[in-house]
């Protein structure tokens, strides 16, 4: 059974509701906590609203949810009481969420247990709040390692020289440490992306001067790959297509500001180097053989499993989804064209995620999100903005902007038709 599957809901209410053991207020509190946690773990607005509405219905509540990237409004009423007598509204300000596949699966399991009577509502609420425990030292170290491995792997996928790969790996690790620092010191959060861009640009320039020549812009982009809002752009476009206009617009604007902030940081580093008379050497040599690319694919898949905070038992599934998405995109692009490859990969991974959710009664996000992570257009968008700033000409970034737009449209088409190919019975 699934908390988010209307076709698999039991016909009767949980025993705790039937015998009156759970109060109206307790049920509302559980739904509020569930909405908060689903939002915190990166659930999109349309999926969150659908899931909350279904769970509330199974708990004997009428609920009208409304979600955006920085807030949730939940309007409750008791359908067994006169209109207006039991109306209750909750406003939540959870802030921007981040993808956490393990906690998303746990929240889904808890909701399922509650609505099927295997867990009392107060116990379910306590179980949700237990998920708020911060990660320990090992978790923080793994996150920093994930940043480093993802940056180095992307540099390998681009067939950059070993010095470029090593530099991107080091910068990625430093940015991972900066992320951990921002989590502990709220003052760093406002200018975090700009600081990350400044760090990436400064280290890359210093390496190119004192150690060896680099493909400067490409190394910076590879180093910042985890922070690039490609996934946010894809989700925003998907929300807009599903008529969640406020949420989609807000998420799209947030993604664009992330790109702008990253560009500001890198531009400051490049400008300071010019003012100091430092001219970094840049080369475009890409000598790596195919085995480096395949190794980079495997490392990237592992890194994204870590960064998506999947449970270790799900690493194989997440990595397989990421590798499959890349392979379909690559060979589909060679067979047809690049956009067609992205479309086919998004179509296949979305359909596979929906099928997995129907078969395994677990969130399809375990397959869907890793499957499209290497397809997102964030790196192309950043390259276009950096080129525009460096050249001070709109024409400089026009080609990259069009490439990002074409990739985004192909990705959206794949997501939409993937849901049509295999219907999403679960909403997570």
pLDDT band at 19 (very low <50, low <70, confident <90, very high): very low
Q: Residues 360-375: pLDDT tens digits?
A: 888 989 999 898 887 7
Which distant-in-sequence residues (6+ apart) come within 8 Å of 414 by Cβ? 342, 343, 344, 345, 346, 347, 348, 349, 350, 372
Q: Residues 230-282: pLDDT tens digits?
A: 778 777 877 887 778 888 888 888 888 888 888 889 889 888 888 877 777 66
Mean pLDDT value of segment 168-172: 95
pLDDT recorded at residue 89:
92
pLDDT recorded at residue 328:
92
Residue ranges of domains in the chain: 6-130, 137-421
Mean pLDDT value of segment 303-315: 93
Per the structure block, which two tokens stand in for 156?
Answer: 């390998």
pLDDT recorded at residue 395:
56
SS3 labels along 10-72: CCCCCHHHHCCCCCHHHHHHHHHHHHHHHHHCCCCHHHHHHHHHHHHHHCCCEEEEEEECCEE
Q: Residues 132-142: pLDDT tens digits?
A: 887 777 888 89
Q: Residues 219-228: pLDDT tens digits?
A: 888 898 888 8
Statement: residue 428 has pLDDT above 70: no
Mean pLDDT value of segment 326-333: 88
Q: What is the pTM of this model?
A: 0.86
Mean pLDDT of the chain: 83
- Give the dihedral sign, CA 111/114/118/122: positive
pLDDT band at 377 (very low <50, low <70, confident <90, very high): low
Mean pLDDT value of segment 90-108: 89
Q: Which residue has the higher pLDDT, 173 or 254?
A: 173
Report the percent of the chain where pLDDT is more than 70: 87
Lowest mean pLDDT: which of 19-28, 37-46, 112-121? Answer: 19-28
Statement: residue 156 has pLDDT above 50: yes
Q: Which residue has the higher pLDDT, 236 or 28?
A: 28
The helix-helix angle for 315-335 and 365-373 (nearest 10°) equals 50
| Euclidean distance between CA atoms 94 and 82, whole angstroms | 32
Statement: residue 191 has pLDDT above 60: yes
Statement: residue 18 has pLDDT above 70: no
pLDDT band at 398 (very low <50, low <70, confident <90, very high): low
């Amino acid at each position: 059974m699934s908390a988010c599957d209307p076709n698999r809901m039991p016909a009767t209410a949980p025993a705790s509701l039937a015998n009156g053991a759970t109060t109206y207020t307790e049920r509302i509190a559980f739904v509020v906590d569930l909405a908060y946690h689903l939002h915190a773990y990166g659930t999109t607005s349309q999926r969150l609203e659908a899931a909350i509405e279904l769970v509330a219905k199974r708990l004997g509540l009428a609920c009208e949810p409304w979600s955006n990237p920085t807030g949730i409004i939940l309007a409750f009423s008791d359908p067994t009481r006169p209109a207006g007598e039991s109306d209750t509204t909750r406003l939540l300000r959870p802030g921007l969420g981040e993808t956490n596949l393990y906690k998303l699966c746990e929240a889904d399991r808890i909701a399922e247990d509650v609505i099927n009577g295997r867990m009392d509502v107060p116990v379910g609420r306590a179980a949700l709040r237990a998920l708020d425990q911060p990660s320990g030292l090992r978790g923080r170290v793994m996150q920093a390692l994930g940043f480093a491995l993802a940056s180095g792997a992307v540099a390998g996928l681009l067939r950059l020289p070993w010095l470029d790969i090593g530099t991107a790996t080091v910068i990625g690790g430093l940015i991972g440490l900066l992320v951990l620092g921002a989590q502990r010191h709220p003052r760093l959060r406002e200018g975090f992306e700009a600081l990350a861009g400044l760090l990436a640009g400064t280290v890359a320039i210093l390496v190119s001067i004192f150690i060896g020549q680099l493909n400067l812009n490409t190394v910076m982009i590879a180093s910042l790959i985890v922070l690039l809002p490609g996934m946010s752009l894809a989700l925003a476009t998907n929300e807009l297509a599903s008529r969640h206009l406020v949420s989609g617009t807000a998420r799209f604007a947030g993604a664009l500001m992330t790109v702008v902030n990253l560009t500001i940081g890198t531009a400051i580093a490049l400008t300071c180097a010019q003012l100091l008379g430092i001219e970094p050497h840049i080369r475009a040599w890409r000598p790596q053989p195919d085995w480096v690319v395949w190794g980079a694919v495997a490392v990237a898949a592992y890194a994204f499993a870590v960064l998506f905070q999947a449970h270790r038992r799900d690493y194989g599934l997440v990595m397989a989804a990421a590798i499959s998405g890349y392979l379909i995109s690559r060979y589909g692009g060679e067979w047809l064209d690049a956009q067609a490859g992205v479309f086919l990969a998004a179509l296949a991974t979305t359909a596979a995620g929906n099928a997995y959710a129907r078969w395994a009664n677990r969130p399809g996000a375990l397959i869907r999100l890793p499957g499209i992570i290497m397809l997102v257009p964030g790196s192309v968008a950043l390259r276009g903005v950096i080129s525009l700033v460096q050249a001070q000409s709109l024409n400089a970034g026009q080609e990259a902007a069009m490439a990002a737009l074409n990739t985004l449209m192909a990705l959206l088409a794949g997501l939409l038709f993937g849901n049509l190919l295999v219907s999403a019975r679960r909403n997570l």
